[in-house]
Amino acid sequence: DRSIPFAIIAIAVAGAFAAATELLTKRDTRPGQMIATALFATGTLAALALAFTFALEKGWLTIALALMSLGTAWISMKRPIPFLRALAAILAGIVVLRTGHEPRIVGNDLGTTPIFNWLLLGYGIPAASFWLGSIFLRRRGDDGPLRSLEAAAILFTVLLAFTEIRHYINNGNIYSRSSDLIEIGLQVCVALAMAIGLERLRIRTGSVIHNAGALLLTWFAGLAVVLGLFGIANPLMSSIEIAGTFINPLILGYAIPAILALLLSYAVAGRRVPAYANTIAASALVLALAYITLQIRHLYHGPYLNSFRTSDAEQYTYSVAWLVFGVVLLGIGLLLPSQRARLASAVMIAITILKVFLIDMSNLTGAYRAFSFIGLGLVLVAIGWLYQRILFKQTRPPAQEPAAGA
C-alpha cells in the first residue's frame, strides 16, 4: 500500500543527503573524503528509492527505478564517485528482477489495447533509460557496471518488441501457449533487425555485450526459423489458414526474413568468419525459395496448403519459378557484380535441374513434360552464352603487344 507521508519524509532525507554530498565535493581533498561522499550520495539515492517505494506501485515503481538508474549514471559522469557506477547497475538489476516477477508490468490491468499500453511504458522507458545510462557510463571507461547496463538495455528492447507482438497477436494474453505463423515471423524479423543494428553498433563501441547480443539474436532467429517457420508454424505441415492472395502471412513469415537475413549477411561480411556470413546468406536463399514455393502452392490450393495433391500445372510452375529466380540472381550477380549472387544462382539452377530430372520426368505428362525440358535447356544455353560473353570476357587477361622490332 502507498504511504504519501512516509514518502515525503524520505524525500526530505534524500534532500539532506544530497546537500551533504554537494558540500563535500566542493571542499578541499582530505583523507576519507571520497568514502564519505560516496556514502552520502548512496544515501541520497537510497532515500529516493524508498520515497518511490512508498508513493508508487506496480508499473510506476518500475519506471521510477529505471529513471533512478539513469540519474545515477548521469551523476557518476559529473561526480566521479566509483560506487555510483555500481549503484546504477544495481538499480538496473532491481528493475530486471521486478519485471521477471511480473512480465505484464501491471498484472491483470494490462488490457487488450495494442502497442499503446503498459508494456510500452514498462519496457520502453527502462530500455531508453538503460541505453542513455550506458552512454553516460562509457564516457569514463568500460567496466562491469557499464556492461550490466548495456545488457539490460538490449534485454528490455528485445522484451518490448516481443511482448508487444505477443500481446497483439493473442488479444492481450502474453502467457498464451500457442504461436502462429504471423507471430513467429514478426519475432524473426525483429530479431534479425536488432542483430543488424547491434552489428553496426559494436563496430563503433567495441563492446563485448553488443557483440554477444548480436550473436544471440542471430542464433535465436535461426532457431525460430528452423523450429518455428519450418516446424510448428509451417503451413505445409499443419492446417494454417493463409488469407489473402498476395498480401498474406507468407510475406511476414518468409519474404521479409529473407531480405533481413541477406542484409545481416552483408553487415557481418568481412567482420566475422566467412562461414558465419555465408551461413546467414544461405538461410536468406532458403527463406526466399520457401516463400516462392509456398506462394505458388497458395495460388493453386487456396488458404490451406497441407494437401497431398499436386497437379501437373503446379509442378511445372515450381520449375519455371525456381528457374526464373535463379536467372534473376544471375543477373544481379553480373550487374553488381556479386560472386555471392552468382553462387546462389548456380545453386538454384542446380536444384531446378535435379527437380526436372527426378520429379518432372516421372510425374509430368504431355506438354508440361516437354516444356519443362525445353525451357530448362534454353535457359542453360542462354546462361552459358552470358558467361562466355560477359563474365569470361571481363576476366580474360589483355593480349600482349608484340615487342618492338619483332
Residue 238 lies in a domain: yes
Q: How far apart are CA 174 and CA 136, in angstroms?
A: 33
301 and 244 in a common domain: yes
- Domain encompassing residue 216: 178-309
328 and 291 in a common domain: no
279 and 237 in a common domain: yes
Statement: residue 242 has pLDDT above 60: yes
Please tell me the predicted confidence (pLDDT) of residue 166.
97
| pTM across the whole model | 0.88
Residue 291 lies in a domain: yes
C-alpha cell at 302: 487456396
pLDDT in tens, 267-278: 999 999 999 999
- Residue of 31, 142, 137 whose CA lies nearest to 80: 137
Name the band, by pLDDT with cuts 50, 70 and 90, for residue 392.
low
Name the band, by pLDDT with cuts 50, 70 and 90, for residue 38.
confident
Name the band, by pLDDT with cuts 50, 70 and 90, for residue 406.
very low
The least confident of 85-94, 316-325, 380-389, 394-403 is 394-403
221 and 335 in a common domain: no
Higher pLDDT, 21 or 143: 143
Statement: residue 339 has pLDDT above 80: yes
253 Cβ contact list (under 8 Å, min separation 6)? 181, 182, 184, 185, 188, 229, 233, 291
195 and 276 in a common domain: yes
Q: Do the beta carbons of residue 91 and residue 65 sit within 8 Å? A: yes
Q: How far apart are CA 216 and CA 356, in angstroms?
A: 39
Residue 321 lies in a domain: yes
287 and 363 in a common domain: no
pLDDT in tens, 101-152: 999 999 999 999 999 999 999 999 999 999 999 999 999 999 999 999 999 9
Statement: residue 306 has pLDDT above 60: yes
285 and 203 in a common domain: yes
Please tell me the predicted confidence (pLDDT) of residue 351.
95
280 and 227 in a common domain: yes
Statement: residue 25 has pLDDT above 80: no
Statement: residue 213 has pLDDT above 50: yes
220 and 269 in a common domain: yes
Q: Which of 290, 309, 328 is the last residue of a domain?
A: 309
Statement: residue 285 has pLDDT above 80: yes
